Chains A and B, each alone.
Chain A
Amino acid sequence: MVALTTLSAGQTGLIHSLQGGHRLISRLASLGFTPGAPVVVTRNYGHGPIIVAVRGTQVALGRGEATHILVYPAEA
Chain B
Amino acid sequence: MHCQTETIPAPPISRAPGATLVVALAGQPNVGKSTIFNRLTGLDQHVGNWPGKTVAQKTGRCTYQGRKLSLVDLPGAYSLTANSEEERIARDYIIHERPDMVIAVVDAAIPERSLYLLAELIQLPAPVVLVLNMMDVAEQEGLQIEPHVLEAALGIPVVPMCATRQRGLEEMLDTVFRLWDGAFPYNPRRPTILPAHQEVLEQVITLIADHTPAPYPVDWVALKLLEGDEEIHAMMQAALPADRWHTIGGLLHAHEDAVLDIAGARYAWIARMIRAAVVRPKIGQVGLTARLDTVLTHPVGGLLALIGVLGVVFWLTYSVGSPLQGWLDMLLTQLAQNVHGALFSVSPWLADLVADGLIQGVGMVLTFLPILIIFFAVLGFLEDTGYLARAAYVTDRFMHALGLHGKSFIPLLLGFGCNVPAILGARILDSPRARRLTILLAPLVPCTARMAVVTVLTAALFPRTAAWVAWGLVTLNLATLALIGLIFKRAVLKDEQSVFIMELPLYHMPNPRTIGLYVWHNILSFLQKAGVVILIASVVIWMLSYFPAQGDVMQSYLAHIGRALEPLGRLMGLPWPMLIALFTGFVAKENTIATLGVLYGDIGNTLPALLSGPAALGFLIVQMLFIPCVATVAAVQQETRSWRWTLLSLGLMLVLSLGAGIAVYQVGTWLFS
Contacts and interface: CB of A to CB of B under 8 A. Distances in A.
Interface of A: 17-18, 22-32, 34-37, 42-43, 45, 47-49, 51, 54-62, 64-65
A32 B81 contact: no
Nearest to A37: B267
9 contacts: A22-B230, A31-B113, A43-B297, A49-B400, A51-B393, A58-B503, A59-B502, A60-B389, A60-B500
Given A26-B83, A32-B116, A34-B267, A57 B110 contact: yes
A11 to B, nearest CB: 16
B396 A60 contact: yes
Contacts of A54: 113
A65 B500 contact: yes
Given A24-B499, A60-B389, 8 more contacts: A17-B260, A25-B260, A30-B79, A30-B81, A35-B264, A58-B293, A60-B502, A60-B504
B122 to A, nearest CB: 15
Contact of B228 (A22, A30, A35, A65): A22
A29 B228 contact: no
Nearest to A31: B78
B289 A58 contact: yes
A32 B503 contact: no
B83 A23 contact: yes
Contact of B501 (A47, A48, A58, A59): A59
Given A59-B504, A65-B501, A30 B78 contact: yes
The DSSP consensus for interface residues of chain A is: mixed
A49 B113 contact: no
Contacts of B83: 23, 26-27, 30
B111 interface: yes
A55 to B, nearest CB: 4
Contacts of A59: 501-504
A49 B264 contact: no
Interface in B467-518: 497-504
B396 A48 contact: yes
A25 B257 CA distance: 10
Contacts of B293: 42, 58
A49 B259 contact: no
Contact of B263 (A29, A43, A45, A64): A29
A25 B501 CA distance: 11
B259 A22 contact: yes
Contacts of A58: 289, 293, 503-504
B406 interface: yes
Contact of B500 (A22, A23, A34, A61): A61
A24 B501 CA distance: 9
Nearest to A24: B499
A64 B496 CA distance: 12
Given A34-B264, A51-B393, A56-B111, A45 B299 contact: yes
A55 B227 contact: no
B500 A49 contact: yes
A40 B633 CA distance: 45
Q: Which of B227, B500, B503 has the most CB of A within 10 A?
A: B500
Q: Top 5 nearest A-B pairs by Cβ distance? A: A62-B500, A48-B397, A30-B79, A29-B263, A58-B504
Nearest to A23: B83
Contacts of A42: 293, 297
B668 to A, nearest CB: 40
Contacts of B230: 22-23
A54 B264 CA distance: 13
A1 to B, nearest CB: 16
Nearest to A18: B260
A51 B260 contact: no
A7 B297 CA distance: 18
A26 B227 contact: yes
Nearest to A61: B501
A61 B499 CA distance: 8
B396 A62 contact: yes
Contact of A26 (B110, B259, B502, B503): B259
A55 B500 contact: no
Contacts of A65: 499-501
Contact of B397 (A26, A35, A49): A49
Contact of A47 (B110, B263, B397): B397
A64 B497 contact: yes
Interface string B167-185: 0000000000000000000
B112 interface: yes
Contacts of A27: 78, 83, 499, 501
Contacts of A37: 264, 267
A32 to B, nearest CB: 5
Nearest to B120: A30
Given A26-B259, A48-B397, A62-B396, A31 B503 contact: yes
B108 to A, nearest CB: 11
B422 to A, nearest CB: 23
Contacts of B397: 47-49
Contacts of B501: 27-28, 31, 59-62, 65
A39 to B, nearest CB: 12
Interface string B105-122: 000011111001000000
A28 to B, nearest CB: 7
A32 B112 contact: yes
A55 B112 contact: yes
B113 A32 contact: yes
A58 B109 CA distance: 12
A56 B110 contact: yes
A32 B267 contact: yes
Nearest to B299: A45
Contacts of A32: 112-113, 116, 267
Nearest to A56: B110
A49 B497 contact: no
Interface string B385-413: 00001001100110010000010000000
A61 B400 CA distance: 12
Nearest to A36: B264
Contacts of B400: 48-49, 62
A74 B112 CA distance: 22
A29 B400 CA distance: 23
Find the residue from B228, B293, B406, B504 having the highest chain A CB count within 10 A: B504
B497 A51 contact: no
Contacts of A28: 501
Most buried by A among B289, B299, B393: B393
Contacts of B393: 49, 51, 60
A57 B267 contact: no
B297 A55 contact: no
Contacts of B109: 56
